[in-house]
Each structure stands twice: as C-alpha cells, then as structure tokens.
Copies of this chain bind each other. A is one copy, B any other.
Amino acid sequence: MDKLILIVNDDGWQAQGIKVLSRIASDIGQVVVVAPDQGRSGAACGITPGTPVIVEKIPATQAHGQGYGPDVTVYSCTGTPVDCVKIALEKILPHTPDMVLSGINHGDNASISLFYSGTVGAVVEACLKGIPSIAFSLRTHSRQCDFTPYEHVIRHWTEKVAAQGLPPGTCLNINFPEVSELKGTSICRMARGKWHTEWVEADTRTPNVECTTGDTQAYTLSGTFVNLEPEAQDTDYWALDHGMASVTPLKPDMTDYAVLSHCR
C-alpha cells in the first residue's frame, strides 16, 4: 500500500518550498498538504485556543495552477503549523500518516532558532503524536530560490525514514546552507547561540499602529545571531557555515535529567 505523507510548513501553502517538498514526496507516497493560509513564521509550537480555526480544501484546479502535482490534495488552514498537524490527524486524513514532513522553510532553523520555528513546531507535534517526522529548512530568506542542490538529500532522508521509521520520540531537523553544491551532510547537535540587538524602533505612525500616549513605543523584531561555539565542529551551525547539510535528531523532552539526578 502507498505510504500516506502529510506535509505542512509555516510559510503558507502557496510558498515555493512546500511545493518542492510535495513534488519530491509524491514519488514516495500519497501526499496531503495541510498548511497555513498565510505566513506564520515564528509560531513555534503555538496553538490557537478560543478562536475558530478554518480549514478550506483548495480546488484541484487552483492547487494545480499554483504548481502542485495532480495527485496532491491541498488544504489551507487559518491556524498555526501545530494546528495544521492536529487538524490533519483528527479531521482530514483517512488514517494516521506514515510520515509528516515540514518545510522547506525559507530561512534556516538551526541552533536556538528551532525554538521559535513553526516549521520545527509542526514536526515536534507529529513526534508527540508518535509519527516519524522531518523538518527541512534552507538558509535563505528569498521567496524565490533554487532548491535543486538539496533535492537528493531531501529524497534520501524521506525515503530512509519512510522505509525504516525513526526511534520513538525522535524527529529530525534538517537544514541546508545556500550553496550551488553541498559539501556533504553532518549528523550533529544544535549549536549554543544567541540573538542580540533584536528590536528596531518602529514608527508609530505606521498604518494600523496607534500611538496612544507619550509612554507608548513600537518596535519591530530584527536581530543578529551569534554562534556561541564557532569552533565546535559537531554543531548544525558549523555544518551550515561549511557548506554542509545539517541533520539534527531532536527529542521533545525538555527535562534537564542531569540537574534532576543531582537534586535527588
């Protein structure tokens, strides 16, 4: 029987990366896309309590016109990437999928950026539900970019996980540098890093931003990332900085077992 593959992202169902991913995955199984109706970058593992989330099945002709293959079914969802996974599993798919793929994100999700990432949030959710899952991200913020140099790596890991699964409680976070040819793949940990100088004073006269009193100030998120261990060769950041794909196994359990055993 065909594998059933759910694909999600945080850039929205119309983004280029998710179409490339769905095309590659279509060679491996039956693909259903359930993705945000618009960009939800920075949504992390966020969910939408209290507000109805709307799911719309995109007509096949429209999805095809947007560049999806004829065998791919596409749903647009007003919720977060995690909402997309939850709704797909409970309300859309005919049975539990064999795999959940997320991305390809426009922008890397290496080091601590994975905590803010909706792309990674979606695979964490799939992992918590016991489904093998992989997040793919490319270090670029261009909306139009060439994913060709990474396709063989995406295909390799997708086929491998489709065939073998993943250890229970483990998902994968795969990142690519923006290069014309990858220098290899590094299986590695997330780097320790820090974002700094993250806020720029915004003009409160921006449309839709009301300046109510002199004590009000608007800021826009920006920032610079610093790898706190640039010499360490076993990190995702090192791999990306050296032209390699990074493959980081993630475990959605934040318990600090070292400290815990010390406290007992």
Contact = CB atoms under 8 A, between A and B. Distances in A.
Nearest to A128: B112
B249 A256 contact: yes
Given A167-B259, A255-B250, A259-B251, A49 B55 contact: no
A264 B187 contact: yes
Given A252-B112, A252-B115, A255-B190, A44 B44 contact: yes
Interface residues of A, number: 75
Interface string A33-62: 000000101111111111111111101000
Contacts of A115: 45, 124, 128, 252, 254
Contacts of A87: 199, 219
Interface in A190-238: 190, 192, 194-195, 197-199, 202, 204, 206, 209, 212-213, 215-221
Contacts of A170: 256, 259
Contacts of A169: 192, 256
A210 to B, nearest CB: 8
Contacts of A59: 215
A248 interface: yes
Contacts of A90: 197-199
A83 B221 contact: yes
A116 to B, nearest CB: 5
Contact of A254 (B86, B190, B263): B190
Given A112-B128, A199-B90, A260-B249, A209 B254 contact: no
A156 interface: no
A105 B108 CA distance: 32
Contacts of A103: none
A56 B254 contact: no
A255 B260 contact: no
Contacts of A44: 43-47, 82, 121
Given A82-B116, A250-B256, A46 B48 contact: no
A169 B228 CA distance: 13
Contacts of A254: 114-115, 124, 173, 190, 250-252, 254
14 contacts: A52-B204, A52-B206, A52-B209, A54-B217, A56-B213, A90-B199, A91-B219, A115-B252, A249-B256, A249-B259, A250-B255, A250-B256, A251-B254, A251-B259
9 tightest Cβ-Cβ pairs between the two chains A and B: A251-B256, A57-B215, A249-B256, A44-B45, A52-B202, A44-B44, A42-B47, A249-B259, A189-B255
